[in-house]
């Protein structure tokens, strides 16, 4: 059982998604990093998951989440823009918890109920905040690992290039000595 599945079962949701923020041309976007879904509730289609603009696709969420507040709503009671985003993904109720690292708004975790209209309890919300903090730590460790791996590959490549250049230099110098 994965950590996301444990969180999903704790609050009885059908899907858990982890989103990471990034900036492009001065605007804040989010992209789906991970998804756990109960039987058949996965809808990770690119139009719903890749490079979504907060301002254009989910207006108002940036302000709410970056201030540390959760979004805890029944989809049919949300704005038409939010409904247009969530309803095609079969979301009936949603809890969105912001993820922060050192006061930096890193992204959010969405908990989707695809069956029942409900507002999540304060206990469920607190539990998901704690779980989201663990997810943030895992995200950072993963990014650090990727960064270290990439740096290691770059260093290996640079070392190989330096060794090849050194060999060529040695051959060149040996040829000069032989011809003199």
Per-residue burial over 118-145, b if 16 or more Cβ lie within 10 Å, else e, is bebeeebbebbbebbeebbeebeeeeee
Q: Is 170 inside any structural domain?
A: no
Write down the pTM of the prediction. Answer: 0.75
Q: Which domain holds residue 12?
A: 3-142
Cα–Cα dist 83/77, whole Å? 8
pLDDT on residue 40: 60
68: helix, strand or coil: coil
What CATH number has the domain bearing residue 27?
Answer: 3.30.450.40
Strands (E), the chain: 15-24, 27-37, 52-53, 71-74, 93-101, 104-113
Specify if 173 maps to a domain: no
pLDDT in tens, the chain (180 residues): 577 788 888 888 999 988 999 999 999 999 888 888 887 655 656 666 778 899 998 999 999 999 999 999 999 999 999 999 899 889 999 999 999 888 889 899 999 999 999 999 998 888 888 877 777 676 666 666 776 777 777 777 777 887 787 888 877 777 777 766
- Please state the domain count of the chain: 1
In a domain, 177, yes or no: no
Report which of 69, 63, 57 is spatially closest to residue 31, judged by C-alpha positions.
57
Q: Would you state the pLDDT for residue 1?
A: 53
CB-CB contact of 113 with 24 (8 Å):
no
Kindly give the pairing relationship between strand 27-37 and strand 15-24. antiparallel
Identify the pLDDT of residue 117.
97
Q: List b or e across 62-94, with b for residues whose CB sees 16 or more CB atoms inside 10 angstroms.
A: beebbeeebbbbebeebeeebeebbeebbbbbb
Closest to 115 (Cα-Cα) out of 140, 144, 92: 92
In a domain, 163, yes or no: no
In a domain, residue 11? The reply is yes
The torsion of the CA quartet 117, 55, 31, 149, rounded to 10 degrees, works out to: -140
pLDDT at 161: 80
Instruction: Tell me if 164 is assigned to some domain.
Output: no
Determine, yes or no, domain membership for 22.
yes
Judge whether 175 lies within some domain: no
């Amino acid at each position: 059982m994965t950590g996301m599945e444990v969180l999903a079962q704790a609050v009885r949701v059908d899907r858990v998604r982890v989103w990471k923020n990034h900036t492009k041309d001065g605007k804040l976007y989010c992209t789906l990093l991970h998804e756990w879904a109960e039987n058949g509730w996965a809808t990770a289609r690119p139009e719903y998951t890749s490079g979504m603009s907060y301002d254009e696709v989910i207006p108002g969420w940036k302000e709410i989440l970056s201030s540390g507040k959760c979004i805890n709503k029944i989809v049919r009671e949300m704005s038409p823009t939010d409904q247009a985003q969530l309803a095609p993904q079969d979301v009936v109720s949603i809890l969105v918890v912001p993820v922060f690292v050192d006061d930096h708004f890193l992204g959010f975790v969405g908990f989707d109920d695809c069956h029942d209209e409900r507002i999540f309890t304060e206990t469920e919300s607190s539990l998901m905040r704690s779980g989201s903090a663990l997810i943030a730590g895992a995200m950072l460790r993963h990014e650090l690992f990727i960064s270290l791996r990439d740096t290691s590959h770059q260093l290996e490549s640079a070392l190989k290039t330096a060794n090849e250049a050194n060999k060529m230099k040695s051959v060149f110098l040996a040829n000069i000595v032989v011809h003199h």
